[in-house]
Structure 1
Amino acid sequence: MSTLNSHFRFSLLPKNNKRIILEINLYFETDKYCWQWHICNIEWIRENSYIEFRSSTPTLTVQRLRFINGRCQDANGGCAIFQKNGGTTVINSCSFENNTGPAVGQDMAGALGILGSGLSISNSHFETNTATGNGGNPGNGGNDGAISFDGLRRNNTICGTRFTGNQANQFGGAFFRVSYNGSEQNIFDNVLVDSNFISINGNGLTGGFYIQGDIVTIRNSTVADNSATGAGGIFFINDKSVTLNNINLLSNIAYTSIGAAVICSNPVTGLFTGLIVANNSAGAFGAVFASCSRTITVSNPIIADNIVKNTWPANPCTSMLNGGPGIVQLPINKQKPATGTDAFCPNGTITKLYNVSIILDKST
């Protein structure tokens, strides 16, 4: 383990034997160590290898680096980078792959653990990172396959970033965030949250994003093919305000429970605009929105072809949301063997359609 000492400086020795130095408030740039515009690899070759950065004021900036096969001790997490006790971490054009959290303990993320610090990520990629330990809190440990973020009055911005194939044991296959006084900001723009999951045997929630107790804005993004026992896509918990704008929620799965696309744990207020919510599947019911109420206004959504195993309760939503303009919902009737008209997600005027197909093209 490399730990920042009182001189605020430490070094890594990558495979090419060229030394990389980190210093407080300086960039961790790769141009000096790799060909310009190429990503430099940092591949850990033994257990308990990761970057640990502790100080109350610095900015740690990491650019054009690839972190592969990170591992960390049982008591820790953030097994590529772990920042604690203040400051801000800035990640730009980096890739985090196959980093694995500890088997026992708090297990704060397979790749990036942020505790009491700020976070900004742009143009980066998190793939097949895992946090499958147990024995920590909340839940039973194993929280967040890719990023764990915990901090009072600490904000988070993620832009142009993909989360794919990350796995957790308990909460948040891709992203796990808890905060405290409701003023913390979480902004996601142009992100793809794709095929992240909680193990089907783990009985955990939220394959994609678990966000608790703060202000959330997600725009121009896709949350698709994520899976968990419940809340396959996103879980909002006691969040002060949630804004979703131009979001695709597609083909997410709740194995045995509710809320394949989204679960809200009240009180959650907000505005959902321009959503396409299609082909999500819940093992119980409430395939689209579970426990989201009229404190949320929905405008211009297309809610289509979401399915449930228990066909008798309301299919897409467990409770009614406040309806704005331009609402499209189908199918109109319940799945068989249930009969009759299905309940509508929002109140107000709804356009009812019988036959529409929505397919996600991942080729681009």
Structure 2
Amino acid sequence: MKRPSMPYHALFRSLCTAPRAAALIALTACSAGASAQQEMDAAQTTWTKIATEGQSFAVSGTQTVRYGAKSAWLEKTVSGGGRCTSGFFSGDPIYGTRKECQVAETIETAQAVPTAAKVCTPPITAVNTSNVAPSVGTGTPQSCTEAALRTAIASHNTVTFNCGATPVTIALSKTIDVPTDRDIVIDGGHKVTLDGLGKTRILSLLRENYRSNNHVLTLQRITLARGKATGTRYVAPDPNNPSCAYGWADGAGGAVHVKDAKLRVIDATFRDNKAATPGPDVGGGAIHAAGSLDVTIVGSTFTGNSGSNGGAVKLLQSNGRFYNSVFANNVANGTGQNFKGGKANGCPGVGHANQGGAGGNAGAIGIDGKDDTDVVVCGSRFVDNQANELAGALSRTANVTPRRMTIDRSLFQGNRAKTGGALYLQNQKPLDIVASTFTANVAKGGGAAQFYNDKLNIVNSTFAGNEATAGLGGALMLNANDPAGVMRNVTFTGNKSSGGPGYFSAAIAGSLNFPVYNSVFANNVTADPWTPMQCTPTPGSGANNVQWPRHRAVGGAADTLCIKGIVFADPKLGALANNGGPTPTAAPASTSPLRGAGRNCPAADQRGVKRNTSQCTVGAVE
């Protein structure tokens, strides 16, 4: 998918000239003093690459980041993160040359993808293998072979390695079939990479039963790279009906394919794995699980994986839990979605009759089915993932019966899709979004998310600088959601619907049919003079909310109220920054009218700071 233009770069450049402008990322020093910079140069003499040109990056706290190549660089002091572009750094230090971004010295996020701190307490921990004799290798890299690994997995319950002091890569010529009749642990000790060489899937664990097997495959402290699932049973496009489904029926799970077995991934890395594409059902660039009672991922990193759907992970009828993990630069590269009926009536389909589309949903994680249970995402980061259709980062369709989904203390930044830049979630009841931040996500419509038939409970969360480029809802698109939902202490700032006349509702589009309390809508703008700039045509219900500005950015007409009885006042919000806590936030100034204007707030704010619940600050930050 061609990336859309990003007008929010102009917003970055305006930080120093418009103190109250809604900003995506805080530039805490727009022009550092010479003496301060000299002190930094003296103290920090090394630089580490954190992004290539065009990518987003994240940094811990406030750091000095430079942009350029060779001996030509521009430097900025950055809080939280930014984008490796000339727009962000307000110039091009070396025209016509591929550039990168580097951070001074060593910091927590000094790498091409961000790291996730141990924010949430996971339900599982690594298996203690310290007393297990190594089953692969005799102390040298040469002794750690594919044959030795195959033998160990076939004959041992716990597989560990003795390959010497330095990291080792074991290249695989074909998939290793993991036994399904017992629990198996594979522990790489932070030194082992299993490499599919871009030719073969790495591990396969398949039973023909359905959601019945309690045996567990645990992968811990190991890297799985360049696995490839080859597609089979290809269905060609129908020249008479382009809506008919086409593509591969099989070829899921580029690194790991699991069916009817539990999978636990702890402190592992999956990079550059590929599932087959295109296809309406196939996917899971790194991991695919079908009919599994549990897939739990903790403290792991997924980067550069791709597949028709679920660029990193695809779960079908499988329970999913994701803790303290990073998903960056994964891609769902199918096209046309996956749907039944309508224009696809009469089509033979790939997986079933009357099927349309060839995938492209869920850049990082895709989940669907009718028998899976609650899904939890906690303390995780989704950065720069992309989908050609729905959900740049995370998609879930809970078929038939609604189920619970929880997104807690997580960051969604710079993800892109046609619809739902970060999220597309359907039939989640309840859908709890708590203490999470959505920033710089882009889609044609629903810049951050589209919610369909969900019971929303959005609390202490921030939507900043998301964009709808050719549709409605710079931040959120709401469709047919449960009126029993609620939104409480949420900050919407600097979101855009930038398509021009006819494109509106920069913060919330659709039906706002549930109450909103203690929330702020600040500087969410469109380029349309005739329609509501920030929210829906019909104001929602609620209390103790604040909106700004009073008039539309184009044409100057009075803007429609987001919520009945809302107060118009400049909230004096700061830029998105690291203000403490696990996710970036936009803090109000000491003189902000938001302070003390809220009532019945949650006991703590988005950062975890305690509140006076009876007289608290409007928005996500106390």
TM-score normalised per structure 1: 0.85
Matched, 1:98 2:98: no
Query: What is the alpha-carbon distance in structure 1 between the residues aligned to residue 190 and residue 472 of structure 2?
Result: 49
Matched, 1:225 2:440: yes
The answer to whether the 8 A contact 1:297-1:321 is kept is no
- 3-state SS of the aligned residue for 2:361? coil
- 3-state SS of the aligned residue for 2:338? coil
2:148 matched residue in structure 1: none
1:274 matched residue in structure 2: 489
2:412 to 193, 196, 200: 193
1:67 to 256, 259, 270: 270
Matched, 1:209 2:412: no
Query: What is the alpha-carbon distance in structure 1 between the residues aligned to residue 310 and residue 403 of structure 2?
Result: 20
Deviations 1:147-167 (A, max 9, x none): 000021422101000000000
1:30 to 164, 178, 187: 187
Matched, 1:16 2:169: yes
Letter in 1 for 2:298: N
The answer to whether the 8 A contact 1:151-1:178 is kept is yes
- 3-state SS of the aligned residue for 1:229? strand
1:351 matched residue in structure 2: 567
The answer to whether the 8 A contact 1:298-1:321 is kept is no
2:365 matched residue in structure 1: 147
- Give how far 1:355 is off: 6.5
The answer to whether the 8 A contact 1:15-1:42 is kept is no
Query: What is the alpha-carbon distance in structure 2 between the residues aligned to residue 131 and residue 83 of structure 1?
Result: 16
- Give how far 1:292 is off: 2.4
Query: What is the alpha-carbon distance in structure 2 between the residues aligned to residue 267 and residue 45 of structure 1?
Result: 39
The answer to whether the 8 A contact 1:293-1:319 is kept is no
Aligned length: 342
- 3-state SS of the aligned residue for 1:276? strand
The answer to whether the 8 A contact 1:30-1:64 is kept is no
Query: What is the alpha-carbon distance in structure 2 between the residues aligned to residue 47 and residue 32 of structure 1?
Result: 26
Letter in 2 for 1:16: T
Deviations 1:8-66 (A, max 9, x none): x9x9999533999966574655365649xx953221166644210001xx321111110
1:332 matched residue in structure 2: 550
Structure 2: where are the runs of 5+ without partners? 1-154, 162-166, 193-219, 231-253, 340-356, 585-622
CA RMSD, Structure 1 to Structure 2 (Å): 3.1
Query: What is the alpha-carbon distance in structure 2 between the residues aligned to residue 183 and residue 46 of structure 1?
Result: 34
Greater shift after overlay, 275-284 or 24-33?
24-33
Structure 1: where are the runs of 5+ without partners? 1-6, 102-106, 199-203
The answer to whether the 8 A contact 2:537-2:560 is kept is no
2:540 matched residue in structure 1: 322
Greater shift after overlay, 230-239 or 41-50?
41-50
Query: What is the alpha-carbon distance in structure 2 between the residues aligned to residue 100 and residue 336 of structure 1?
Result: 41
Query: What is the alpha-carbon distance in structure 2 between the residues aligned to residue 120 and residue 84 of structure 1?
Result: 15
- 3-state SS of the aligned residue for 1:171? coil
Deviations 1:173-194 (A, max 9, x none): 0001111234311111001001
Deviations 1:261-289 (A, max 9, x none): 10011144310011010000002101111
Matched, 1:310 2:528: yes
The answer to whether the 8 A contact 1:51-1:81 is kept is yes
- Give how far 1:326 is off: 1.8
Matched, 1:237 2:442: no
The answer to whether the 8 A contact 2:375-2:405 is kept is yes
The verdict on how the C-alpha distance between 1:39 and 1:319 changes in structure 2, with shifts beyond 3 A counting, is farther
The answer to whether the 8 A contact 2:188-2:221 is kept is no
Identical aligned residues as a percent: 26
Query: What is the alpha-carbon distance in structure 1 between the residues aligned to residue 222 and residue 532 of structure 2?
Result: 51
The answer to whether the 8 A contact 2:274-2:306 is kept is yes
2:222 matched residue in structure 1: 40
The answer to whether the 8 A contact 2:506-2:535 is kept is yes
The answer to whether the 8 A contact 2:323-2:377 is kept is yes
Letter in 1 for 2:496: S
The structure that is strand-richer by fraction is: 1
1:286 matched residue in structure 2: 505
- 3-state SS of the aligned residue for 2:269? strand
1:52 matched residue in structure 2: 257
Q: Mark the structure with the bigger radius of gyration.
A: 2
Deviations 1:311-337 (A, max 9, x none): 211111123353323201100112232
Deviations 1:217-269 (A, max 9, x none): 11000011000000010100122x11000110000000011001100111443
